[in-house]
A and B are shown apart, each in its own frame.
Chain A
Amino acid sequence: MSTAELPVTATDLDRTVLPPVIGSPVERIDAVEKVTGRAVYAGDNWAPRMLHGAVVRSPYASARILNVDTSRAERLPGVHAVVTGADTAGVKWGAFRPDLYPLAVDRVRYVGDEVAAVAARDPETARLAAGLIRVEYEVLPAVLSLDEALAEGAPLVHGDAPGNVAHEFGFDRGGADAWFDRSDVIVEGTWQTTRQWHGSLETIGCTAEWSQDRVSLWVNTQTPFLARQRYATALGLPLRAVRVVQTEIGGGFGGKSGDDNTSVICALLARRAGRPVQLVNTREEEFLASRPRIPMRYTVRLGFTKDGLVTAKDIEVIADNGAYTGKAQAVLGAATVRHDALFNYRAVRARSRLVYTNLEPTGALRGFGNPSADWAVGQAWDLAAEKLGIDVPDLFLLNAVESGSVSPHNHRISSCELKQCISKAAKAIDWEAKRAARKPNRGLAMGVSVHVSGRRSFGDYDGSSAIVRLTEDGRATVIVGEGEIGTGAHHPRADRRRRTRPARRGRLRDPPRHRPRHARTRRARESGHLCRGQRGQAGGRTGLPRSAGVGRPPTRSARRPVVGGERHCARTGRGRRRGPGERTGGQDRACRAVPAERPADRRHRLVRQPLRVPRREPVRQ
């Protein structure tokens, strides 16, 4: 019997009437859209009259901008807007330490810094125009490593950060020195990590459209709500004037959490052009403008009793912020504090510095500081195990926290199975045998790590709450800030809504997203429940048009190219009209029937689109 046939009674609401969840395979609700190529990623968006953007970037690590000459670019046919730092609100922004202008003002601070941008009718023209912008620089001395940045009298990356230190903090809990004095074995070492890029298969991109003084941004961001706040600051707008809609995301890994300028520049271009603009990073730009993992130099000192009980930990961390701060400050926080919750340290001391360099700005990447920190601290534990003559897993087991432990930061650990995890893992990877057969110069290691677990180190992120609104038709809208980036985040939500039945009559359903998308799981189909994962959308109540314009490209029939020699636009007479100064080409090459105005029926068609779910018989016609 499918769930739909179950009579829903008052008692059902209290009782769980659920099919088994764990261990039963589920089909992803977005799978069909993705395998058919219908899922709309940032670069797949389309709007009538949409232009394409390109960015001019600094070729110098540190330089003063003397002059930006945009006249040639402006004269290039097909160019609709050119913006420079002078066209911005002149406001610095950033998640923690506002130090980044949307477009450079007076100074550039790394190779890749955004200086100017162009919007033109096609990407080729935009790139051509970007190449026509002449920027005069006065090259300044740059600091290109941690040591250079921290050297006496080093050139300053930002005038307001003496010694190039963007952020500094530390603590001494439990009296580390006293505990080191009482230790029998002390190990020490310094380890350094390097930049590492996310390499998401899809690069960062945005489509922006203004309606009066408000802007809608269709962005592939992992964090639509946080991004909205930051973009509003960067654009000098009140929050209500910015709407951020999450598109499908081709991988995030921390790199798409709204710390870069792409969307802001896209919005500036769209405002200047008075038309929608799409700006998508090239792969090369992605390496310059996404925010890679922070290189950290980690000096660790650990103290142990001769029986192998850990006493104290002392660390010094120097982290390469790059030219701008973004989330690096919080990442460094995690890298400094979080691993204190893994072992029963009696005392911990730390000193962490985030250092500006004239290198690419850094930020969040899978693990948010933990991998670098745990790697370095783990090496020190390895040294200790060797010195103490205790096998690594045994040393871990001797010192690991368990339920009821209290960390030196006074964090009470309420539930924890770290010890069980270590034992199981050692068995699963056949540690003993591997250790016995260990060859010289061959690595063999085991590490432990902890991530968020209910304690976050920064405040404006609320990933675990949801707003559930029951709608007039007895269905429910679930609003969450946790973005779907390929992890299937929408599935549990859609699933849970079906499973928990808060509404007595009727069924649970998501609200339409910024474009209607219909996905039904097999189980949903059986139970007759329509479910749609909701794509994060921040600022949906701004009264902006609900994406009548920006959505997927026109339907196939609308964009069917010239067939059999007949030009579509000649037939329909609806081809885009060119001004006398416009050159054909690029977007216009195909001469597709792009309506000059947004047709009134477009929205209609989108909303009314019938539910089209391909049947999935394994038969190919």
Chain B
Amino acid sequence: MTDPLIPFSPHDTHASEPEARKVMSLPLRFRLNQEDVEIHVQDPTVPLLDVLRGDLGLTGTKSGCAIGYCGACTVVVDGEAVPSCVQMAGLVEGRDVRTVEGLGGPDGLDPVQNAFVKCSGLQCGFCTPGHVMALRALLDEDPDPGEERLRETVDGNYCRCTGYVKILDSAREAVELERAARVAREAR
């Protein structure tokens, strides 16, 4: 018996399970933190945030509001900071996604992360990955953004704890550390 209120039931398909899965899931391929990934999603309109956190277990990206306001879920898609809670997963097909897990490495933090550690630009830390990713995208685009742009970027992410002073300090420090890193790279 089908229940009209239950939108879908696999009992109806009479298909064996692997077949059913094939019918129901769509492959989604994209580049995630420098790796090619292919996953299967049932619904390409689900938020990228849910795919990252739920399917891929990358919980560094946080959900604060889930409606595109707070910036806690910020990831970088093709160099642009986007709130992943309002980014349809299907639309990242073939694109390059970076999350906070992709920054730094086993033996060194990203300059932006370093700046937050150094300036204590965090309290509860829930907004921090979002801030870090937004600033990362900014510095990739413009390694020497003026105060104005730094403020604009920080403004896009809510922080309910710090009052932003230390976050702005961290942002300025990030620019400095980024410059130092660049100089060191060029010297090599």
Q: Which residues of A contact B (CB under 8 A)?
A: 27-28, 30-41, 43-44, 46, 72, 75-77, 122-124, 128, 132, 198-202, 248-253, 282-283, 485-488, 552-554, 556, 559, 561-565, 578, 580-587, 589-592, 612, 614-621
For window 83-126 of B, CB contacts with A under 8 Å fall at: 99-101, 103-111, 113-114, 116-118, 120, 122-126
Chain B hits for A199, CB < 8 A = 160
**When the two chains form the complex, which single residue of A34, A200, A253, A586 contacts B122, counting CB atoms closer than 8 Å?**
A34
Q: How far is the CA of A576 from the CA of B44 in the complex (A)?
A: 22
Q: How far is the CA of A250 from the CA of B66 in the complex (A)?
A: 15
With both chains docked as a complex, state the minimum distance between the C-beta of A531 and any C-beta of chain B, in angstroms: 16
With both chains docked as a complex, state the minimum distance between the C-beta of A63 and any C-beta of chain B, in angstroms: 23
B40 touches A620 (CB 8 A): no
With both chains docked as a complex, state the minimum distance between the C-beta of B138 and any C-beta of chain A, in angstroms: 15
A201 touches B160 (CB 8 A): yes
A201 touches B159 (CB 8 A): yes
Chain B 34-68 near chain A by CB (<8 Å), digits 1 or 0: 01111111110010001101111111111111110
A587 touches B117 (CB 8 A): no
**When the two chains form the complex, which single residue of A283, A590, A591 contacts B66, counting CB atoms closer than 8 Å?**
A283
With both chains docked as a complex, state the minimum distance between the C-beta of A18 and any C-beta of chain B, in angstroms: 21
User: A34-B128, A251-B160, A614-B104 in contact; A583/B9 too (CB < 8 A)?
Assistant: yes
A35 touches B21 (CB 8 A): no
Could you name 7 residue pairs across A and B whose Cβ atoms are closer than 8 Å?
A36-B60, A43-B63, A486-B123, A587-B54, A591-B21, A614-B108, A616-B109
Chain A hits for B116, CB < 8 A = 31, 35
Q: How far is the CA of A582 from the CA of B11 in the complex (A)?
A: 9
A561 touches B109 (CB 8 A): no
Q: How far is the CA of A32 from the CA of B104 in the complex (A)?
A: 11
Chain B hits for A616, CB < 8 A = 108-109, 114, 117-118
Q: How far is the CA of A199 from the CA of B63 in the complex (A)?
A: 13
With both chains docked as a complex, state the minimum distance between the C-beta of B98 and any C-beta of chain A, in angstroms: 12
**When the two chains form the complex, which single residue of A578, A583, A590 contacts B55, counting CB atoms closer than 8 Å?**
A590
B57 touches A617 (CB 8 A): no
Chain B 164-188 near chain A by CB (<8 Å), digits 1 or 0: 0000000000000110110011000
B38 touches A563 (CB 8 A): yes
Chain A hits for B114, CB < 8 A = 616, 618
Chain A hits for B42, CB < 8 A = 584-586, 589
Q: How far is the CA of A616 from the CA of B112 in the complex (A)?
A: 11
B118 touches A27 (CB 8 A): yes
Q: How far is the CA of A250 from the CA of B160 in the complex (A)?
A: 9
Q: What's the interface size class on B, roughly?
A: 35 or more
**When the two chains form the complex, which single residue of A28, A76, A128, A201 contacts B126, counting CB atoms closer than 8 Å?**
A201
Q: How far is the CA of A582 from the CA of B9 in the complex (A)?
A: 9
Q: For residue B173, which residue of chain A has the nearest CB?
A: A618
Q: How far is the CA of A249 from the CA of B123 in the complex (A)?
A: 10
With both chains docked as a complex, state the minimum distance between the C-beta of B32 and any C-beta of chain A, in angstroms: 8
Chain A hits for B55, CB < 8 A = 561, 587, 589-590, 592
B100 touches A589 (CB 8 A): no
User: A200-B160, A486-B125, A590-B55 in contact; A584/B17 too (CB < 8 A)?
Assistant: yes
Additional A-B contacts beyond A35-B117, A556-B101 (18; CB < 8 A): A32-B117, A36-B103, A76-B6, A201-B127, A201-B161, A250-B126, A251-B126, A553-B57, A553-B59, A585-B25, A585-B43, A586-B54, A591-B21, A591-B39, A592-B56, A592-B57, A616-B117, A619-B108
B5 touches A72 (CB 8 A): yes
Q: How far is the CA of A487 from the CA of B72 in the complex (A)?
A: 19
With both chains docked as a complex, state the minimum distance between the C-beta of A324 and any C-beta of chain B, in angstroms: 25
A283 touches B64 (CB 8 A): yes
B123 touches A487 (CB 8 A): yes
Q: For residue B67, which residue of chain A has the nearest CB?
A: A283
Chain B hits for A200, CB < 8 A = 124, 126, 160
**When the two chains form the complex, which single residue of A77, A251, A252 contacts B10, counting CB atoms closer than 8 Å?**
A77
**When the two chains form the complex, which single residue of B56, B59, B106, B113 contacts A612, counting CB atoms closer than 8 Å?**
B106
With both chains docked as a complex, state the minimum distance between the C-beta of A37 and any C-beta of chain B, in angstroms: 2
Chain B hits for A32, CB < 8 A = 109, 113, 117
Q: For residue A78, which residue of chain B has the nearest CB?
A: B10
User: A283-B65, A589-B41, A618-B111 in contact; A253/B117 too (CB < 8 A)?
Assistant: no
User: A200-B160, A283-B67 in contact; A562/B39 too (CB < 8 A)?
Assistant: yes
- Is B148 positioned at the interface, with any CB of A under 8 Å from its CB? no
- Is B70 positioned at the interface, with any CB of A under 8 Å from its CB? yes
Q: How far is the CA of A564 from the CA of B31 in the complex (A)?
A: 11
**When the two chains form the complex, which single residue of A34, A46, A77, A615 contacts B57, counting CB atoms closer than 8 Å?**
A46
